[in-house]
């Protein structure tokens, strides 16, 4: 993915969760978390561009990204 804010679920496990700063398990749970958002992909191969969701990359919905 070309957006640096998108990560794989495996990469997410290495990130600290902003919702759990004072708990024993502070690591991101990736798609197991309700805040997880799958990345949107725009397909420009058609006359009418379509959007779909990635099956491999996402991001934390609690972290603001550009």
Q: Name residue, tokens 């799958």.
A: 38
Q: Tell how far CA 40 is from the center of its chain.
A: 10
Quote the pTM value. 0.73
pLDDT (tens digit per residue) in 19-45? 877 777 788 999 999 999 999 988 887
The pair of three-digit structure tokens given for residue 9, joined into one six-digit string: 């679920």
Is residue 39 a contact partner of residue 58, using CB atoms and an 8 Å limit? yes
DSSP letters spanning 23-38: SS--B--GGGSTTEEE
Alpha carbon distance 41, 56 (integer Å): 11
Would you state the pLDDT for residue 39?
Answer: 92
């Amino acid at each position: 993915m070309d957006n640096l804010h998108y990560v794989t679920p495996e990469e997410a496990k290495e990130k600290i969760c902003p919702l759990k700063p004072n708990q024993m398990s502070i690591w991101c749970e990736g798609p197991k978390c309700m805040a997880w958002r799958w990345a949107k992909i725009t397909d420009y191969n058609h006359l009418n561009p379509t959007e779909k969701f990635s099956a491999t990359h996402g991001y934390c919905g609690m972290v603001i990204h550009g």
